[in-house]
Amino acid sequence: MPGSKRQLSYWKFKLHEIIYEADTPAGKTFDIILFFVIIFSVILVMLESITSFDAKYHDYLFAAEWFVTILFTLEYIARIISIKNPSKYIFSFYGIIDLLATIPLYLSYFFAGTQVFLAIRALRLLRVFRILKLMRYLGEASQLGRALQASKVKIAVFIYTVLILSVILGTLMYLIEGADAGFTSIPKSIYWTIVTLTTVGYGDIAPQSDLGQVIAAVIMILGYGIIAVPTGIVTSEFTRQASLDKKVHSNTQVCPHCLEENHLEHSHFCHKCGSLLNE
CB of 44 to a second copy, least distance (A): 10
17 binds a second copy (CB under 8 A): no
Nearer to a second copy by Cβ, of 9 and 49: the residue is: 49
Query: Considering beta carbons, is residue 67 or 117 the nearer one to a second copy?
Result: 117
Among 49, 87, 250, 275, binds a second copy (CB under 8 A): 49
43 vs 70 by CB, closer to a second copy: 43
List the one residue from 157, 211, 244, 259 that touches a second copy (CB under 8 A): 157
Report the nearest approach of a second copy to the CB of residue 184 (Å).
Answer: 7
232 contacts a second copy (rule: CB under 8 A)? yes
Measured from the CB atom, is 77 or 116 closer to a second copy? 116
Restricted to residues 177-196, the positions that interact with a second copy (CB under 8 A) are 179, 184-191, 194-196
Measured from the CB atom, the residue of 21 and 245 that comes closer to a second copy is: 245
CA–CA distance, 172 with 190 (Å, rounded to integer): 9
Instruction: Return the sign of the alpha-carbon dihedral for residues 85, 73, 125, 127.
Output: positive
From 234, 196, 195, 191, select the one nearest 215 (Cα to Cα).
196
Work out how close the CB of 80 gets to a second copy at its nearest, in angstroms, rounded to a whole number: 25
Contact 34, 71 (CB under 8 A): no
Restricted to residues 92-151, the positions that interact with a second copy (CB under 8 A) are 115-116, 118-119, 122-123, 125-126, 128-129, 136-137, 140-141, 143-144, 147-148
Q: Tell me if residue 269 falls in helix, strand or coil.
A: strand
Residue of 169, 203, 170 whose CA lies nearest to 184: 170
Count how many Cα atoms sit within 13 Å of the Cα of residue 88 in the half-sphere of its side chain: 5
Backbone φ, ψ for residue 276 (5° rounding) = -70, 135
Residue type, 222: L
Least distance (Å) between residue 196 CB and a second copy: 6
What SS3 state is found at 270?
A: coil
Least Å distance, CB 149 to a second copy, is 13
Distance (Å, whole) CA 273 – CA 259: 10
276 beta partners: 269
Nearer to a second copy, 7 or 49 (CB): 49
State the helix-helix crossing angle for 93-102 and 51-81, rounded to 10 degrees.
Answer: 130
**Contacting a second copy within 236-255 (CB under 8 A):** 236-240, 242
| Closest residue by Cα to residue 30 from 19, 39, 41 | 19
Q: Does 162 bind a second copy (CB under 8 A)?
A: yes
Q: Which is nearer to a second copy, 95 or 223 (CB)?
A: 223
Distance CA 26, CA 40 (A): 21
